[in-house]
Chain A
Amino acid sequence: MNHLYEYIQSYLKSDQTPGAAGNMFWVLVYIMLVFAALSVAVIAMNWLERKILAHMQVRLGPMRVGPHGLLQPIADALKLLLKEDLIPAEADALIFWVAPFVVVLAAFTVFVVVPFGPTHAITDMNIGILFMLGVSSLSVLGIVMAGWASNSHYPLIGALRSSAQMVSYEVAMGLAVVSAILMTSLNATGTGTLSMIGIVQAQQAQGEWFIFKFFPLGLIAFFIFAVAMIAETNRAPFDLAEAESELTAGFHTEYSGFRWSLFFLAEYSAMIAVSSIAVTLWLGGWLRPFPNLLSGRAADLIFSLVPGATFLFLAAMCFFNTVRMPKHPLFRVQTMGLAGFGVVLALVGLVLFIPAVSFRVQDVFWFSSKVAVFMYFYIWYRGTFPRYRFDQLMQIGWKTLLPMGLGVLILTASVALLQQNLWHP
């Protein structure tokens, strides 16, 4: 018993990820944590997307189920579970059945290497970024399977568009990634790393996020990735695969109920996954703003208060809106619900003020808030841009982003080489 306790304890003292430390207990805990957090994040994204988009479009969005529609995603999930699960008579039943799982599997597996903090990842692979890109591109397979197995025109066109789009944007994406990886080798030993955690540590060691490195080269690479990742996840303005006005719903037209919601889940977790890659490669991953410039105990203390303060601010917003709720008996439950939600947020905020907790969790906070910014941009794009046409999309991918990526890669390599040689003549 004591042995087991020590086994569990041993990880907490190490400065490695559970996978790298070989601690299976914590690996399982982290897998469950990541899975749960991801599901919650997708649910939250669903609500936030509808709310933010609604407010951009002079409407309120969901307001009925729960205070300010907070329970709407849960109601939707329930509805989807209760819906009939249709498999068209002419469809290839087996492939039709497997396709959503392939997509979900690909979307969730990438989170094995996402570094939420130096110790907060399921594992740290020495080929982390390759693993992420490789596994995330497996979802194309699921999409093609779904489109093909539906045995219907619209899903077929949707799947073709989707796979062509994902495959061609991966090239530009890969080039941008390579130029960031090149930057990790700018150290005394001259060896770079593909490990997700190593990449962030390289940024820490070099004292700047890669987005600002060799200005504007890092920025351009980041821009290429930022465009390619929207195309990669099939989101507006590149949401041709599911262009509602043209192809009704693209590759998942024939899907219903829970199977459809799996595609939905996969889409949102893929969005989070690619945003995590962008954050890790260019925006310093879990690093708080100015880790070197504003170092020292005072700055550390101030920044460690930010997570708690953020949650307290959200709680205060909840309470503010609780006061503003209509004073009508019909709204009593909703008002209480909103107040309860505020209390939960406030409690989380207070817990985050405990130094031991905030010391361990603040990395996760910074990482998640950077990803959240990307998520907001995703919604913003959707509210602003019209949709590209397929050939225009391909043109951007092959004729604009690819040459840009190549150029940035060559320039980054040359500048890095020059710098290395000046350092070690």
Chain B
Amino acid sequence: MNEPNSTLSNLDLETPEKPFLDANELVINMGPQHPATHGVLRVILRLDGEKVLGLECVIGYLHRGVEKIGEHRTYTMFNPYVDRMDYVAAVSNGLGYCETVEKLLNVEAPPRAQYVRVILTELNRIASHQLWLGTHALDIGAITPLFYTFRDREEILKIYERYCGARLTTHAFRIGGLQYETYAGFEKEVKNFLNFFRPKIDEYEELLTTNRIWVERTKKIGVISGKDCIALGVTGPVLRASGVRWDLRKAQPYAAYKKFDFEIPIGENGDTYDRYLVRMAEMRQSVRIIEQAVESIPEGPIMAKVPKVIKPPVGEVYHSIEAPKGELGYFIVSDGSTQPYRVRVRPPSFVNLQALDLMCRGQLVADVIAVIGTLDIVLGEVDR
């Protein structure tokens, strides 16, 4: 891994490029109601013709005050709220929160629970990447992949539905482990899904990877260097596509990730195409992880010894996991009562969104769409 560097190598946010001749700048408001801003993101674009001179993100249209709500709920009651942040990766959010509180309580979930957590979280990563792929391709004009990915994502949601009754905001995990034992045939169904899904990745790639238009639309678009990523705090596939081998599943293993054999796919150029390739490769790696986890899932209890009323000792804790979109961190301060004193979430989408301006400078309007898509933001998580 490259050493984190605090200098912003070519990040000069103050002086926009001078427009060619004395042309008038055109200020365009994109969003919050726009088909390609993935929710209610508002982007104010300063254009010279179609060239982007700079842009500013206006967020907060989906602000629900999740962090503040956390201060008025008990630790258990707050658990379902985190599902509503990144609603396409609700399981990952739940995992992050539960593990943070467990760290605060100094308990560890039993091995069986950890394996089930890994399986469900990796399935969630696949589902999140599928949704990203479909919408990203749709933004660039390929409408068909969306329907393919949604068809296949449905199979994952079915597994969730059978496991915990919910499809999207699952609330799958509890502090200390799991509430529900896996249903009969869970392993078989997951294996069936993996066998079903493996050729589907090839199918997606067949549509896009060598498609001339796709390559032209994504190569050298929204380039960001590894140094800038680190300086801005960008994590996840965006960071890895810039050539930085940083994945919290390897760097600070949590849950049962230490036990599995998998690779961290990285890119070279840090452009939209590399980010696409990295995410495609990540889906394959997730399949690999789930396969190993299902094969070796241990028997045993699914819940650690956790008191009915959770009252962690006074103190603070930060714990982060590798969510599908990047580093998802929770910082919880406990004052010894049943409610957290402060819950701070470090959402990957919010931090990654900061790179949008840097990535879009000098590109064209159409590229802004591609870059928003490739950052894979979920506004529920950006605004919280």
Contacts and interface: CB of A to CB of B under 8 A. Distances in A.
B148 A58 contact: yes
A79 interface: no
Interface in B294-345: none
B36 interface: yes
Interface string B136-180: 011111111011100100000000000000000000000000000
Contacts of A83: none
A245 B367 contact: no
Contact of B35 (A157, A236, A248): A248
A384 B214 CA distance: 11
Nearest to A236: B141
Contact of B217 (A236, A382, A387): A387
A390 B141 contact: no
B26 A153 contact: yes
Given A57-B144, A59-B147, A237 B213 contact: yes
Contact of A388 (B207, B213, B365, B369): B213
B216 A382 contact: no
Nearest to B28: A153
A399 interface: no
A232 interface: no
A390 B364 contact: yes
Given A237-B213, A244-B35, A387 B364 contact: no
A243 B141 contact: yes
Contacts of A407: none
Interface residues of A, number: 28
A246 B143 contact: no
B50 interface: yes
Question: Which of A53, A59, A245, A387 has the most C-beta atoms of chain B within 10 angstroms of its own C-beta?
Answer: A245
Contacts of B50: 157, 390-391
B366 interface: yes
A411 interface: no
A386 B213 contact: yes
A392 interface: yes
B150 to A, nearest CB: 9
Nearest to B215: A386
A383 interface: yes
Nearest to B50: A390
A378 to B, nearest CB: 14
A293 to B, nearest CB: 37
A54 to B, nearest CB: 9
Nearest to B216: A392
A387 B141 contact: yes
B366 A243 contact: yes
B359 to A, nearest CB: 15
Nearest to A153: B28
B141 A239 contact: yes
Nearest to B218: A386
B104 to A, nearest CB: 43
A386 B140 contact: yes
A386 B137 contact: yes
Contacts of B141: 236-237, 239, 243, 245, 385-388
B142 A388 contact: no
A243 B207 CA distance: 20
Q: Is the interface of A mostly helix, strand, loop or mixed?
A: helix
- The bracket for how many chain B residues form the interface is 20 to 34
A56 B144 CA distance: 7
B211 interface: yes
Interface in A146-171: 153-154, 157
Given A245-B36, A246-B366, A392-B217, 11 more contacts: A57-B144, A58-B147, A236-B141, A383-B144, A384-B207, A385-B141, A385-B213, A388-B217, A389-B217, A390-B366, A391-B364
Given A387-B213, A390-B50, A392-B216, A57 B147 contact: yes
B34 interface: yes
Contacts of A157: 50, 365
Nearest to A54: B147
Given A383-B143, A383-B144, A389-B367, A245 B216 contact: no
Contacts of A386: 137, 140-142, 208, 211, 213-214, 217
B364 to A, nearest CB: 6
Interface string A52-68: 01001111000000000
Contacts of B366: 240, 243, 246, 387, 389-390
Q: What are the 8 A-B residue pairs with the smallest beta carbon separation, nearest first?
A: A387-B141, A245-B36, A57-B147, A386-B142, A386-B141, A386-B140, A245-B139, A389-B366
Interface in A379-419: 382-392
A265 B211 CA distance: 31
Interface string B185-229: 000000000000000000000011001011011000000000000
Nearest to B140: A386
8 contacts: A57-B144, A59-B147, A154-B28, A240-B366, A245-B138, A246-B369, A386-B140, A389-B217
Interface string A239-279: 11001111010000000000000000000000000000000
Nearest to A244: B35
Contacts of B211: 385-386
A238 to B, nearest CB: 10
Contacts of B365: 157, 246
Contacts of A53: 143
A57 B208 CA distance: 15
A247 B276 CA distance: 24
B369 A382 contact: no
A403 to B, nearest CB: 18
A355 B378 CA distance: 65
Interface in A32-77: 53, 56-59
Nearest to A389: B366
B136 to A, nearest CB: 10
Contacts of B217: 386-389, 392
Contacts of A57: 143-144, 146-148
B46 to A, nearest CB: 12
A248 B364 contact: no
Contacts of A390: 50, 364, 366
Nearest to A384: B144
Contacts of B35: 244-245, 248
A382 B143 contact: yes
